[in-house]
Structure 1
Amino acid sequence: MTKKWFQDSVIYQIYPRSFQDSNHDGIGDLNGIKERLDYLKKLGVDVLWLNPIYASPDKDNGYDIADYQKIQPAYGTMADFEALLAAMHQKGMKLLMDLVVNHTSDQHQWFQESQKGQDNPYFDYYIWRDPVDGHEPNNWGAYFGGSAWTYVPARKQYYLHLFAPGQPDLNWENPKVRQSVYQIMRFWLDKGIDGYRMDVINLISKPVGLPDAPQAKGAAYGNVEKVVADGPKLNQYLKEMNREVLSHYDVMTVGEMPGSSPEDAKNYTSLDGTELNMVFQFQHVDLAPNPDARFGKWNDEPVQLPELKQALGRWQTALDGIGWNSLYWNNHDQPRAVSRFATDDPKYRVLAAKMLATTLHMLQGTPFVYEGEELGMTNVHYHAIDQYEDLESLNAYQQFVDQEKAVAPTTMLRWLAHMSRDNARTPMQWDDTANAGFSDVTPWFALNPNYQAINAKAALADQNSVFYYYQKLIALRHRSDLIKLGHFELLGADDPDIFAYHRHYDRQTLLVISNFTAQRLTRKFSYPEDAKLLIGNYADDQGNTLRPYETKVYQYD
């Protein structure tokens, strides 16, 4: 296999609003990121992915873009961006930008013109439909709750928004829309960025006729993902995008694809570089949905380990030699990994964070580290709805508690504490001083109260910290083709407590064993006496005895 640079890389995701404030307004910014590059270089990551930094009214924290070629003023200026990019390249790190082109903001010039009527150049830049019997064109529900349609009197039509009303969907059937997107992509690539993470890119091609979606009993609207994900022209659009733009630059691309299966992903990712390099899949983070389908992801149930193994293993096997996996536990849209998949019990938090890191980083693919994950940051566990900021969380509470009265407030708050996106968006915990070193004024969003114990300053002073463990994992991956390219073999698929697997490459084998419980367990695995213990989260090795949240990796011929 001829390796591409992204296969050798480890990516660090930055949520700019919450990373580092440099200008004393309580909001993270580009100069703040630049101040922390030495920290990221010390960690050993190769690529930084920035969540959207474009001009936006911030109805969905930057995923509603009003101008793709301007920097959000709270984050700085274009000169600040260019200085950050230059500093990153000087330190040998690359930059991945967020490309959000399924939808724009309703404040974008295109939509402002489009909504005026059907006699302007942008009239069909978005998806407009006439009312049906005086109502919405179909039963589609938006991801953030409510109908996916909003009526505009000036046009006497509805426009489609798969997310918030302030995020109208672009009409990719219109070739002018596609060319406008490609022009935006070239603008940033010509500035020297190194690739794109493409937001919900598998939703850009809508099904012919916009048919009704399956509707769960008791649900107000149909499940739009069931009919929109991986639409009929997605492959055509991605090939065109690659042909006209991506193939002309040495870049990395990862497409966020909710609802996609490995079989779907084979159509959009390839090692030959004709479409995307990899996808963000959701099967492992969508586990343990609420048994009542109308509540979707909202619950506080633990993930069952056999299901988790099956979900991750399926992708490892399906894409091996054909495409490439992205590896992640959490991001800006997911709760903190240690809280979701293990425990944030102070007694075991550090061990659990290291265990999760090992389990993921020993798989085939490109690992993504979300800001604070390398510290073992946890869910914030808010206990009142007015503490939340995330649009999805607030809408869910309003719908299920206030409107439908289908869930008790205490239950919904428990679900939010477990699954809300806000868990990932609290400010980065740099030290134990006021505002955690994130800002010298009150931050835009409340800090996790545990920042005095969990912070970067404490981690850097402790050689046994989660930070230095991530540093070791990243260094191991950089020098090992076995870790990067080895074939995956799941062991003990039905074991409810242990996640174990082999990796095989060039006559060498890796054995990864992880205990996902707080229990002391005994398991017998077969490996030679001279097998090398590559890494583990305990100071010694007790063989067949697995201590709480223990993880260890053996390598042998």
Structure 2
Amino acid sequence: MDKLIAIVLIILITSACKNKGKKMEEFKEENISKDSKTWWKEGVLYQIYPQSFKDSDGDGFGDFRGVIEKLDYLESLGITMVWMNPFFESPLVDNGYDVSNYKAVHSRYGTMDDFKEMIEKMQARGIKFVLDIVVNHSSNEHEWFKQASSSRDNKYYNYYHWWPAEKGKPPHRHSIFDPEGGWHFNKATNSYYLHTFAQAQPDLNWENPKLRQEVYDIMKFWAEKGVDGFRLDAFQFSSKDTTYPEFPEGYEKDFIKWHGMRPQLHTYLKEMYKEVIEPYNIFAVAEGAGSTLQDAHDLVDEDRKELQTAYHFEYVDMSRTTAGYKLTDFKTVFTKWDTSFAEKGWLAIFLSNHDNSRLVNRFGNPSTAYRRVSTQMLNTFLLSMRGTPYTYYGDELGMTNIDMPRIEEYVDVSAIGEYGMAKARGDNMEEFMKQLNYNSRENGRTPMQWDDSENAGFTTGTPWKRVNDNYKEINVANQEKSPNSVLNHFRKMVKLRKENEVLVYGDYQLLDAENDETYCFTRTLDDVKVLVLLNFTDHDSSIELSEISNNKEILINNYDVLTILEKQVTLKAYQAVLLSIK
């Protein structure tokens, strides 16, 4: 028996050494079977845009110490993960998505010691930290690019994509931010470099194994500092067709199809999994999931050994214009993805992030009469679906879009680039500005509204971006006082999800699919069944459901009443109800 115990101890010690930096319970969770419970499935993720969250030193920009000040608030929400947008050293052409040093933090946000203190205090509160890592491209001020752009003979030249000028002008390639296209001439090397985004963001050459090892070393650097996961920015574009073919006219309308999910991408992800994700027990999600359901499965099915969670944009894309969306289409998309992932793989569930305008403006009703209840309804939906819910800072309050009708007010490289492209095409610029005012991602980057003091309590200085005028009404301090506020409803809903495994792992079944006013579905796990009732309109709406039984319990309701007459339920404007069906 003593010998057997000794053998077991040796095995455990060996495993612990291979998985240094992680707690044993995390190691066990990461290595259980596909259908078992894992922390990243059961978690609720909260996304922080750091320069807009809380400023601690009065310079007008949010920082690490500001987040530390608000850790009790984050804990009170019940969230279990924080994803923070980039804070690396950067010239900030694209607000940090242009990295000049991957192993240093920008002084705007604080020091490396501040960062370490922040995540250690998060983790002490049971909150894991997910790092936003930008490795499709770097900044043109990164030392690699400075060297690469000096000479074709430089060892860093092949860290980027180049087109020699002696071959003539390169084939047109669409750039998401640059109206002049995706190639930019560099005089010193007499060649053009590729940039999928802005000119200041040259694309990294993932086809070069030396570059890939540099990236894995960067990821290991942060894993050893204690981060629990990575969000891989724009990663579906990382692998390139190095023949750089001519694409058909108008191809940019289906940009992902032509530029995303090249077959080599999976080779690189498997390599990354083996080098970083598996040995460090790291959670990883890539921005984007390709063009098809199969693309998404190829990224995240467990037997693929690539990533853990698919993060797609199909339902977010349907709300990008003032024309709005059809609820039946919304239900179809969510149901299609859930059905596909019912047995294999896992999804991220979200309706907003730093690249979109505010949740309530796009999917709810931001008017004074309905902002509260419609935001509560949307948060109820997100926290009732199968998949890991992602909440963007301020959506737990119902923060809204900010009115910016003139292009001079915009600082975002994307908005300015889109404006230039629209002007070059001869678009109706009045209509363009109307749409930009509605869907610009600057709407989702305004300072967090903490209280009704000057600048919403975000900063004692001049904020980097104007605070929304409605901050005196919509803020944390006001909502803390009201039991039925958006904030307190969010807390109740997070608690409900964490206490009811059926909302995490239960089967999803859509009801009354053709109803264009209500979204109703069930979640079922073994003998536990929850009925979710959501009214997406600004008026009463009735629905007949055979699932209603006499033996039921209201789990949550954003109104004080619920009208049920036999099998008919009448929901008030934007009412959201969860019923436990016995």
Shorter-chain TM-score tier: over 0.9
In the other structure, the counterpart of 1:492 is: 512
Match of 1:140 among 173, 177, 181: 173
In the other structure, the counterpart of 2:528 is: 508
TM score, norm. by length of structure 2 = 0.90
Match of 1:97 among 131, 134, 143: 131
Q: Secondary structure at the match of 1:514?
A: strand
Does 1:546 pair with 2:546?
Answer: no
In the other structure, the counterpart of 1:294 is: none
TM score, norm. by length of structure 1 = 0.94
Q: Secondary structure at the match of 1:210?
A: coil
Identity of aligned residues (%): 38
- How far apart in 2 are the matches of 1:540 and 1:229? 48
Equivalent residues in 2 for 1:58-73 (5 A)? Answer: 58-73=92-107
Equivalent residues in 2 for 1:347-366 (5 A)? Answer: 347-366=369-388
Deviations 1:368-417 (A, max 9, x none): 1111000000111212211222111122123213x3331133x2221012
- How far apart in 2 are the matches of 1:314 and 1:224? 22
> Cα 1:273–1:433, aligned 2, differ >3 Å: closer, same or farther?
farther
Q: Structure 1 residue 251: deviation in Å? A: 2.3
Q: Secondary structure at the match of 2:563?
A: coil
Does 1:324 pair with 2:346?
Answer: yes
- How far apart in 2 are the matches of 1:408 and 1:124? 41
- How far apart in 2 are the matches of 1:468 and 1:539? 15
Deviations 1:299-337 (A, max 9, x none): 321111111111111111111231111011101001101
One-letter code aligned to 2:311: F
> Where is the helix percentage greater, Structure 1 or Structure 2?
2
Q: Structure 1 residue 223: deviation in Å? A: 5.1
In the other structure, the counterpart of 1:75 is: 109
In the other structure, the counterpart of 2:487 is: 467
Does 1:534 pair with 2:567?
Answer: no
> Cα 1:404–1:70, aligned 2, differ >3 Å: closer, same or farther?
same
Deviations 1:513-542 (A, max 9, x none): 211110211211122111222112111111
Aligned partners of 1:15 and 1:332 also within 8 Å: yes
Q: Secondary structure at the match of 2:205?
A: coil
- How far apart in 2 are the matches of 1:108 and 1:191? 22
Equivalent residues in 2 for 1:469-484 (5 A)? Answer: 469-484=489-504
Does 1:306 pair with 2:328?
Answer: yes
Equivalent residues in 2 for 1:60-209 (5 A)? Answer: 60-131=94-165, 134-135=168-169, 137-146=170-179, 147-209=181-243
- How far apart in 2 are the matches of 1:149 and 1:114? 16
- How far apart in 1 are the matches of 2:407 and 2:289? 27
- How far apart in 1 are the matches of 2:303 and 2:578? 31
Aligned partners of 1:101 and 1:170 also within 8 Å: yes
In the other structure, the counterpart of 2:281 is: 250
Does 1:525 pair with 2:545?
Answer: yes
- How far apart in 2 are the matches of 1:226 and 1:534? 43
Aligned partners of 2:177 and 2:418 also within 8 Å: yes
> Cα 1:273–1:408, aligned 2, differ >3 Å: closer, same or farther?
closer
Aligned partners of 2:518 and 2:541 also within 8 Å: no
In the other structure, the counterpart of 2:12 is: none
Q: Secondary structure at the match of 1:500?
A: strand
Match of 1:315 among 337, 362, 371: 337
Aligned partners of 1:521 and 1:546 also within 8 Å: yes
Which stretch of the first structure deviates more once superposed, 93-102 or 504-513? 504-513
Q: Secondary structure at the match of 2:390?
A: strand
Deviations 1:225-268 (A, max 9, x none): 22111111111111110011110122221111164332211101
One-letter code aligned to 1:365: G
Q: Secondary structure at the match of 2:198?
A: coil
- How far apart in 1 are the matches of 2:171 and 2:298? 29
- How far apart in 2 are the matches of 1:132 and 1:494? 59
The unaligned stretches of length 5 or more in structure 1 are 289-296
- How far apart in 1 are the matches of 2:335 and 2:500? 21
> Cα 1:212–1:511, aligned 2, differ >3 Å: closer, same or farther?
farther
Q: Secondary structure at the match of 1:158?
A: strand
Q: How many residues align?
A: 542
One-letter code aligned to 1:458: N
- How far apart in 2 are the matches of 1:226 and 1:148? 17
In the other structure, the counterpart of 1:10 is: 44
> Cα 1:132–1:424, aligned 2, differ >3 Å: closer, same or farther?
farther
Runs of 4+ in 1 over 4 A off after TM superposition: none
Q: Structure 1 residue 418: deviation in Å? A: 1.3
Q: Secondary structure at the match of 1:372?
A: coil
Aligned partners of 2:58 and 2:462 also within 8 Å: no
One-letter code aligned to 1:547: K
Deviations 1:432-491 (A, max 9, x none): 110100001110001111111000111111111111111111111112111001112222
Does 1:275 pair with 2:306?
Answer: yes
C-alpha RMSD of the superposition? 1.6
Q: Structure 1 residue 205: deviation in Å? A: 1.1
Q: Secondary structure at the match of 2:513?
A: coil
In the other structure, the counterpart of 1:286 is: 317
Does 1:34 pair with 2:68?
Answer: yes
Q: Structure 1 residue 272: deviation in Å? A: 5.5
Aligned partners of 1:213 and 1:223 also within 8 Å: no
Aligned partners of 1:259 and 1:282 also within 8 Å: no
- How far apart in 2 are the matches of 1:469 and 1:132? 63
Q: Secondary structure at the match of 2:193?
A: strand
- How far apart in 2 are the matches of 1:500 and 1:264? 28
Aligned partners of 1:212 and 1:222 also within 8 Å: no
One-letter code aligned to 2:69: E
Deviations 1:61-114 (A, max 9, x none): 000000000001110111111111221122221111101100000100111111
In the other structure, the counterpart of 2:460 is: 440
Aligned partners of 1:426 and 1:446 also within 8 Å: yes
> Cα 1:523–1:479, aligned 2, differ >3 Å: closer, same or farther?
same
- How far apart in 2 are the matches of 1:165 and 1:456? 39
Q: Secondary structure at the match of 1:97?
A: strand
Match of 1:376 among 386, 398, 409: 398
Aligned partners of 2:349 and 2:382 also within 8 Å: yes
Aligned partners of 2:322 and 2:438 also within 8 Å: yes
- How far apart in 2 are the matches of 1:83 and 1:201? 29
